[in-house]
Structure 1
Amino acid sequence: MAETERDPRFDDELIGLDPEDPEVRAFAAHLERMRRCEPGFTIEASLDRVADFAESSSRAGGLRWWVAAMIVVLIVFGVVVASWDIVVHAIEWLTAG
C-alpha cells in the first residue's frame, strides 16, 4: 500500500502492525465485518452474511469444517423438504378442484 492509500485503522486501532502483512490485513477485514451495522433483514445483507460464512468455513479445517458442512447440509435438506411440501400441497389443491 502506498502512503496515500493507507487504511486509517492502522493509525487508530492497529498501531504498530505492518499494513503489508497478509495476516494483519485479514484481521483488519475481520474487524470491518464485525463492525458492520447494516440491517440484517434485507436480501443483500443475508447474501453478504452467507458469503462471509462460506469464506470463513473454507478457511476452517478439521472439526470446524465438518460442522460448517453439516450446517450447510441441514439448510439444504430443510429447503428440499419445504419445497417438496409446497409442491405436494399445490398438486393436491390442483387435483381437488
Structure 2
Amino acid sequence: MELLSTIEEFYIMSKESTRKVIFFFTADWCGDCQFIKPVMPEIIENHSEIDFVEVDRDKFIDLCGDLSIYGIPSFVAFENGEEAGRFVSKNRKTKEEIQQFIATL
C-alpha cells in the first residue's frame, strides 16, 4: 500500500487516476486502525484492480476535515475524478465490512 506523502499527491490521485483509488485514513496511535492493518495486505491482494493509499490522519488533518472524516479508520474511494463511496465512522471495521464496502463500488 502506498503512503500519501503530500496533499498535492492526494488531489492528483483522486482526480486524475484512471483506476479506482481507495484512501485508507489511519493513525499510529489508533487501536482500531492497528486492529485492521494486519488484514489490509490480503484485502489489497484480492483487489488488484484498485490502488490503495494510506493517509496519516495526523499529517493530513486539514484534508480529513475537508472530507468530513472525523473517525478512523475510514475509507474513501474515488473513480474517474469523483468520490465513488465512503466507509467513514468512528467504529472499528472488520475485514468483512471492508470487503462489503469494496463490493459496493
TM-score for the superposition, normalised by structure 1: 0.26
Q: Which has the higher strand share?
A: 2
Q: Tell me which of the two structures has the higher relative contact order, counting C-alpha pairs closer than 8 angstroms and 6 or more residues apart.
A: 2
Asked which structure has the greater CA Rg, the reply is 1
Q: Which has the higher helix share?
A: 1
